Amino acid sequence: MALLGYGTGGSVFHAPVITSVPGLVLTAVVTGNPERQEEVRRRYPGVAVLPDPAPVFDDPAHCDLVVVTTPNRTHAPLATRALEAGLPVVIDKPVAVTSEQALALGRIGPPVFPYHNRRWDGDFRTLRRLMAEGALGEVGRFESRFERWRPHVKPSWKESADPADAGNIVYDLGAHLIDQAICLFGPPTHVYAELDTRRPGAATTDDAFLALTHANGARSHLWMSAAAADIGPRFRVLGDKASYVVHGMDGQEEALRAGRTPREPGWGQMPPETYGFLGVPGRSRPVRTDPGAWQAFYAGVVNALEHGGPPPVPLEDAVAGLEVIEAALRSAAGR
């Protein structure tokens, strides 16, 4: 595997997960940053460190799979070069800036794997299990939040107002929330959005609410914010038999940032005090959170490429997610 990019995405969300999965070998990392180059050499001895991706595309025989984890505006161009070289690609979310770009990637030929790792968050895995078991009954409302308190703007392409950068919070945190809603209920039939810029000095959306209506009548209410002085529940899911409510974030990101990896025993397990509650008013009980398993995404990639299994995340779902974002932008603009 060749990993393009070694910022937070490459160093935290990809490299330590890739190197934990049987059947995958990290052979090259592309980064032009000297400090990051040294970190790769220290942490992954023997892995080739390249200042640009040209050698990967010019001589594709040296790898079987490319991972694109670079700024959003470069996702589609880099993925296109890999695909045209005959190499399957894993692309960080969002796979492209527009749904049309994403559709075009799927027409080139080799497989495209959208990296929607949050499908393997422990709390989301628990929710899917409870729904499959019928513990909630028919779910009518899915409330989901990624909220943060970051009142000071840090210069970054993610803060760019240029639409080509796809930098606002809907493309960032919102892409995860939308994908989880699509995973549960399918693409929505209607989208309503409130998009705001709250923080002093911010140039693009940093506080948003999306309401999705799905074909089965379920509604997904999604909040994403960098300006939340109070953090709401991660999930509040209401069924006609019971609810499931959980606070706090899945612990895998924090563990990876601390240098841990999925190779460790007990990976992804959450402590009992973080468990969500299942029940109705006056009668609820804690439910053990299933272990988070981001490594399962890459195990699914191995299964798809080596054994012809289904992709861990279908490209069609990523396209649908971008269509929701585009509809949200139109809704907020009154179009």
Letter for the amino acid at 159?
E
Model confidence pLDDT, tens digit, residues 40-53: 999 999 999 999 99
- Distance (Å, whole) CA 159 – CA 206: 8
Question: Is the CATH number 3.30.565.10 carried by domain 2-115?
Answer: no
Torsion angles phi and psi, residue 160, rounded to 5: -75, 140
In the DSSP assignment, the letter for residue 62 is G
- φ and ψ at 64, to 5 degrees? -110, -10
Give the C-alpha separation, 335 to 332, whole Å. 8
Q: Each residue of 284-325: pLDDT tens digit? A: 999 999 999 999 999 999 999 999 999 999 999 999 999 999
pLDDT of residue 260: 96
The superfamily in CATH containing domain 118-293 is Dihydrodipicolinate Reductase; domain 2 (3.30.360.10)
Mean pLDDT by 10 residues, the chain (335 residues): 96 97 96 96 96 94 95 97 97 97 97 98 98 98 97 91 93 97 98 97 96 98 97 98 98 97 96 98 97 98 97 98 98 90
pLDDT for 293: 98
Instruction: Work out whether the CA dihedral 273, 278, 282, 283 comes out positive or negative.
Output: negative
Between CA 247 and CA 297 the distance in angstroms is 24
pLDDT of residue 335: 75
The residues, any chain, with a CB within 8 Å of residue 107's CB and separated by 6 or more, are: none
Going from N- to C-terminal start, the domains of the chain cover 2-115, 118-293
In this structure, the strands spanning 66-68 and 48-50 are: unpaired
